[in-house]
Amino acid sequence: MNAIEVILAAVLVAVNAFFVIAEYALVRSRRARLEVMAEDRERGAALALAQLDDINDYIKLNLGEDYSAKDFRTWNGTVLAAALVAATPEGTRTKTSRKRAIHAAVREVAEVLGNTPAVARRAYIDPRVFDRYRSGWTIKLPRDGLDLLDGTSGRGRRRLELAVLDLLADPTDSAATAKVAAAA
């Protein structure tokens, strides 16, 4: 590769990163809050509302009418919750300690998604993650564990997501899931 190709590749990576960050910020934005901001004529709010619609239009065009940005938020919340309960210490063997771990995971997911814990649990975390955890099943976290969730490791994130799919489908038939001691 010559210098121009390297520079061009670096610029394209930077532009892509900008769009990913912008899209993530828009997906996280709450429509009601953006509408209030637009009514107050806050700079950029009307454009953000239009972009929010564009994201859903893009998703529907490419994946079908049944999908929206909420599906991606739900998947992200589910993966995050599965990783958080998997990262709990070995000492969480009692029903009470597992309940605390679940509540902590819900609070963390809510904070990341910008929702209340009740909304996060009801709308953005697949309940099977916690059902499996209470019955003693979780995903195996790789060595980099929760660091995979920062979005910098595409391959690592993919392994994590595949493990969550296995957990939701049949945790007994996967090398990516682990049986932990049953709650006492």
How high is the mean pLDDT in each 10-residue block of the chain (184 residues)?
Answer: 71 62 58 76 75 73 81 89 87 81 94 90 95 91 62 71 91 83 60
Residues forming a β-bridge with 138: 178
Q: What's the pTM?
A: 0.68
pLDDT for the residue 117? 93
Q: Which of 15, 179, 167 is nearest to 78 (CA)?
A: 167
pLDDT for the residue 146? 59
| Structure-token pair, residue 111 | 């904070």
CA dihedral 45, 48, 52, 57 (to 10 degrees): 120
Q: Say how far apart CA 166 and CA 87 lie, in whole Å.
A: 17
122-166 pLDDT, tens digit per residue, is 999 999 999 999 988 999 886 655 555 555 456 777 888 889 999
SS3 139: strand
pLDDT for the residue 102? 95
pLDDT for the residue 173? 83
Tell me the domain boundaries of the chain: 3-63, 69-179
Place of tokens 């992200």: 76
Q: Say how far apart CA 124 and CA 16 lie, in whole Å.
A: 26
Give me the numbers of helices (H) and strands (E) for the chain, helices first please.
8, 2
Q: Which of 106, 62, 100 is nearest to 80 (CA)?
A: 106
Q: Which CATH class is domain 69-179?
A: mainly alpha
Q: Say how far apart CA 183 and CA 92 lie, in whole Å.
A: 8
- Residue 153 near residue 170, CB atoms below 8 Å: no
Residue 115 is given by DSSP the state: S
pLDDT for the residue 125? 96
